[in-house]
Amino acid sequence: MCGIIGYIGSENAVPIIVEGLKKLEYRGYDSAGIAIYGKDGFDIVKQKGRLAALDQKLKENPRSATMGIGHTRWATHGEPSDINSHPHVGSKSKIAVVHNGIIENYKQLKERLEQKGAKFASQTDSEVVAQLAEYYYRGDLLETVIRVSNALEGSYALGIMSLDDPDVLIAIKKDNPLIIGIAANGNFIASDVPAVLKHTNQIYYLEDKEITVLKKDSVAFFSIDKEPISKMPETITWSADSAEKGGYPHFMLKEIMEQPKVVRDTINSAVNGANKAIIDEINIIAYDKIVITACGSAYNAGVVAKYVFERLCRFSSIEVELASEFRYKDAVIDDKTFVILISQSGETADTIAAMREAKSKGASTLAIVNVVGSTLAKEADFCIYTQAGPEIAVATTKAFSTQLILLYLLAIRFASKMGKLANADQNELLMEIEALPEKIASIFLHVDDIQKYASVCVGYKSIFFIGRNIDYAIALEGSLKLKEISYIHSEAYAGGELKHGTISLLEENTLVVALANCERLYLKSMSNIEQVVSRKANVLLISSQEETQADKRLKFIKLPEGNELFSPSLSVIILQLFSYYVAANKGLDIDKPRNLAKSVTVE
Ligand code: F6R
């Protein structure tokens, strides 16, 4: 939620900051702004709406400076407007600030500052940071940032410039991500790596309450007690191209198409690569309960995993919980509980809180994360990385698919350690997983068919997704994907549940997407479909079973055959493509759906 960037160096900061913001726009896109040094003080340009509007404004009136800060916003306090956009300055326009996070005690601070004469311009919590910094500033910006940080409660990643210090940019973070990039042409702060990848792959990850002082050709780190800290940069292996659209109309389509490769990379990392040693290290027999917790699509991956873990490990207690619920429910867990947290960003506030809650009760934690160096990755007891590369589209696709892979492989490894899986069975399951990338690629041969069918589905007011067992788990993901990017009302139901209420909603103008990949339950699923067809609803059937005569009344998409446990990895590709093309046919902004942001760093 909100992306920040800052640059200090030898080149014009304006295009560098705007380019960086384009890579961060997935974090928020209701307004954007930039601050540089002008002739008579800060030159601040802010604009409600997409970044393109700010870009246009800057192109109409080009400016130049060698240091600046920029921001793309997802509103929390105060509506999206020019005034509420960042950067914010204090009443004297002496200090400019960009902020990602929430200042929880902003009301108290604002009241105190107003009593001392500060005049607030916006309704944001963030402005309090700039006002407070001006109030404390006595000529030493580092000292000021320390005092400000000590007064703030809540979460923040901050980029701060002072009018008196034209060659210093300062950054600090707490509970929100911030990276520092060092390049030949200057130094950067950013909310995420893709914003600076074009310039450098040498990245420092800031820890909470660490402060960075950036100059044109140096970067220094300090603790909150002003003690110098020595840090080592990490080399990022993601290429700059991986954060570009590469000729596709949307990042989402590009990311869907990348799945054979990233699934293959993730399998390799867990079977022969860096993730293997970590998976092997986990002594699962020491635990009597597994809890999987996450948000949104990552939670849906957890629901799939619950079925796979139950089937393979026969563990007596496996729970899957929404992280936003888990964190406050006073869960019955202890040091015999193994908690798995799933997250693309590694920065989702609820998932981080769930991890901290689990750790405080003595549980062991494993994070399955895509973004290297993120908070979950650093704080969990164990961390394995999905090899999805940067995911830019707000709706997750490739990160979800790679999460499934690591979860399957964990389940197999755990089952084998628990003595529930013979070697031969383990090898057979591994072969099934190894075959997935090719099977996913084979689905792409039918893209035209899916696209054509999606184009006639744009008019539906409601689309339901049904399935039994593991098909139900993936139905949840299909429904979420559709509603978030196409804005069509959608719900997912366990096939057997329809008749307990939801069937009353079925009529001629509804579509039911039915998944039927569980061989054991195929006939039961077909009975559910009969009930749907009798209510004159239309049906899209996705199944690995051969088409029967009766199916001629339905739109049928055949999945490649294979072990049903791993069928979600195949059916989800069709569900992603279906949602994508429905939204594309409606002409929607697929990569940036309304009201959403990719990284949900607030509650
Ligand atoms: C849906 C989607 C979200 C995320 C959720 C968790 O397409 O992307 O539901 O899955 O916000 O985010 P991460 O995985 O970053 O914790």
Query: DSSP readout, 363-420?
Result: -EEEEEESSTT-HHHHHSSEEEE-------SSS-SHHHHHHHHHHHHHHHHHHHHTT-
Q: How many CB atoms lie within 10 A of CB 50?
A: 17
Q: Which residues contact 304 (CB under 8 A, 6 or more apart)?
A: 404, 407, 470, 473, 474, 477, 568
- Cα 479 to chain centroid distance, Å, stands at 18
Q: Is any atom of ligand 1 closer than 6 Å to the C-beta of 297? A: yes
Assess whether 2 carries a catalytic annotation. yes
- Cα 416 to chain centroid distance, Å, stands at 31
CA 446 to ligand 1 centroid distance, Å:
27
Q: Is any atom of ligand 1 closer than 6 Å to the C-beta of 66? A: no
Mean pLDDT computed over every residue of the chain:
94
**What pLDDT shows up at residue 496?**
87
Buried b / exposed e across 64-100, counting CB within 10 Å, b at 16+? ebbbbbbbbbbbbbbeebeebbbbbbbbeebbbbbbb
Spot the catalytic one: 2, 383, 457, 518. 2
Handedness of CA 105, 108, 109, 114 (dihedral sign): positive
What is d(CA 514, CA 506) in angstroms, rounded to the nearest whole number? Answer: 14
Encode pLDDT of 373-427 as tens digits: 899 999 999 999 999 999 999 999 999 999 999 999 999 999 999 999 999 999 9
CA 147 to ligand 1 centroid distance, Å:
35
**What pLDDT shows up at residue 487?**
96
Task: Answer for the pair 463, 513: CB distance below 8 angstroms, yes or no.
Answer: yes
What is d(CA 372, CA 51) in angstroms, rounded to the nearest whole number? Answer: 26
pLDDT band at 522 (very low <50, low <70, confident <90, very high): confident
CA 292 to ligand 1 centroid distance, Å:
15
Q: How many CB atoms lie within 10 A of CB 319?
A: 17
Residue 499 one-letter amino acid = K
**What pLDDT shows up at residue 551?**
66
Residue 239: pLDDT over 80: no
What is d(CA 20, CA 29) in angstroms, rounded to the nearest whole number? Answer: 14
Q: Is any atom of ligand 1 closer than 6 Å to the C-beta of 295? A: yes
Task: Answer for the pair 570, 439: CB distance below 8 angstroms, yes or no.
Answer: yes
Residue having the nearest C-alpha atom to atom 10 of ligand 1 = 297
What is d(CA 580, CA 553) in angstroms, rounded to the nearest whole number? Answer: 25
Average pLDDT value for residue range 529-544: 89
Which of 519, 527, 569 is CA-nearest to residue 398? 569
Q: Is any atom of ligand 1 closer than 6 Å to the C-beta of 601? A: no
What is d(CA 104, CA 306) in angstroms, rounded to the nearest whole number? Answer: 36
Assigned token pair, 310: 């139950």
Q: Is any atom of ligand 1 closer than 6 Å to the C-beta of 397? A: no
User: Among residues of the chain, what percentage have pLDDT more than 70?
Assistant: 99
Nearest atom, ligand 1, residue 298 CA: 10
**What pLDDT shows up at residue 351?**
97
CA 28 to ligand 1 centroid distance, Å:
14
3-state secondary structure (DSSP) of residue 232: coil
Encode pLDDT of 498-520 as tens digits: 888 888 888 888 899 999 998 88
Q: Is any atom of ligand 1 closer than 6 Å to the C-beta of 600? A: yes
Residue 243: pLDDT over 80: no
pLDDT band at 288 (very low <50, low <70, confident <90, very high): very high
Lowest-pLDDT choice from 6-10, 173-177, 178-182, 498-502: 498-502
Give the CB-side neighbour count of residue 364, counting CA atoms within 13 A: 17
CA 346 to ligand 1 centroid distance, Å:
10
Average pLDDT value for residue range 33-43: 93
Residue 4: pLDDT over 80: yes
CA 112 to ligand 1 centroid distance, Å:
38
**What pLDDT shows up at residue 316?**
82
**What pLDDT shows up at residue 362?**
97
pLDDT band at 29 (very low <50, low <70, confident <90, very high): confident
Radius of gyration of the chain (CA): 25
Q: Is any atom of ligand 1 closer than 6 Å to the C-beta of 296? A: yes
3-state secondary structure (DSSP) of residue 131: helix
Assigned token pair, 169: 């940019």
**What pLDDT shows up at residue 320?**
97
Assigned token pair, 187: 């130094």
Encode pLDDT of 575-588 as tens digits: 999 999 999 999 99
Q: Which three-class secondary structure string do you get for 260-317?
A: HHHHHHHHHHHHCCHHHHHHHHCCHHHCCEEEEEECHHHHHHHHHHHHHHHHHHCCCC
Assess whether 518 carries a catalytic annotation. no
Task: Answer for the pair 359, 383: CB distance below 8 angstroms, yes or no.
Answer: no
Handedness of CA 308, 371, 259, 268 (dihedral sign): negative
Lowest-pLDDT choice from 119-133, 184-198, 235-249: 235-249
3-state secondary structure (DSSP) of residue 249: coil
Residue 242: pLDDT over 80: no
Residue 28: pLDDT over 90: no
Q: Given the structure tokens 């034209």, which residue do they identify?
A: 166
Nearest atom, ligand 1, residue 395 CA: 7
pLDDT band at 549 (very low <50, low <70, confident <90, very high): low
Q: Which of 396, 397, 402, 603 to mutate to test the pocket of ligand 1 (most atoms within 8 A of CB)?
A: 396
Q: Is any atom of ligand 1 closer than 6 Å to the C-beta of 275? A: no
Residue 550: pLDDT over 70: no
Assigned token pair, 78: 């105060």
3-state secondary structure (DSSP) of residue 489: strand
- Cα 119 to chain centroid distance, Å, stands at 37
Q: Is any atom of ligand 1 closer than 6 Å to the C-beta of 391? A: no
What is d(CA 315, CA 420) in angstroms, rounded to the nearest whole number? Answer: 10
**What pLDDT shows up at residue 599?**
76
pLDDT band at 523 (very low <50, low <70, confident <90, very high): confident
- Number of residues in the chain: 603
User: Among residues of the chain, what percentage have pLDDT more than 90?
Assistant: 83
